[in-house]
A and B are shown apart, each in its own frame.
Chain A
């Protein structure tokens, strides 16, 4: 159950688009379309932003989008805003019927 690999940090200016990658294996990300993304602001509980690789739960801005290719999933934030500055974690279902998170990415809005 190794953590999925994410870049430690990604930054962008307001209005720009950024993409966060999440790399796993054929036993997790590559084997199932059960990838999700969570946003966590300091001192707060995480918030579900994307499920089923690319679906947005009700209430989540359409500036957030997800995709997957092979063993790598991606989260794109378009029209970057100051409020998007937070930590982001991917998660995947695994062949062991467990869940695994990514290492986390700190997004900085310049």
Chain B
């Protein structure tokens, strides 16, 4: 069974940085686009970023563009989200999720999700 395990969440002050990790296992990590999705406490889902299966394309939500960077290390089967200039409204549970279709040049759906890691931005 596919496994995604996020880590790196915590409490940080506004303006600071944090890096989230997502350890993937039981599938060929480099064959799939990977996403970050977040959910503020008591609120809805918000798509954050995607990294294409070949690592060549990255797209971001407007709310994080220029502040967050998605990346991966295929040798470690790990996805990352570097978050800089954090704001109070970045407070959320951050999920990593796998795209449904392998080797796809586009990205549409999430079929496996991690359990999430909580990021709290507060002074």
Contacts and interface: CB of A to CB of B under 8 A. Distances in A.
Interface of A: 1, 3, 34, 36, 38, 40, 45-46, 48, 51-52, 57, 87, 89, 91, 93, 96-104
A38 to B, nearest CB: 7
B106 A93 contact: yes
B114 A99 contact: no
B106 to A, nearest CB: 7
Contacts of A1: 61-63
B115 A99 contact: no
Contact of B59 (A46, A96, A103): A96
A99 B47 contact: yes
B45 A36 contact: no
Contact of B115 (A45, A91, A93): A45
A36 B115 contact: no
B73 interface: no
A3 B45 CA distance: 10
B47 A91 contact: yes
Contacts of A98: 47, 50, 59-61
Contacts of A57: 100, 111
A45 B116 contact: yes
Contacts of B63: 1
Interface in B18-65: 35, 37, 44-47, 50, 57, 59-63
Nearest to B115: A45
B109 A45 contact: no
Contact of A3 (B35, B44, B57): B44
Contacts of B80: none
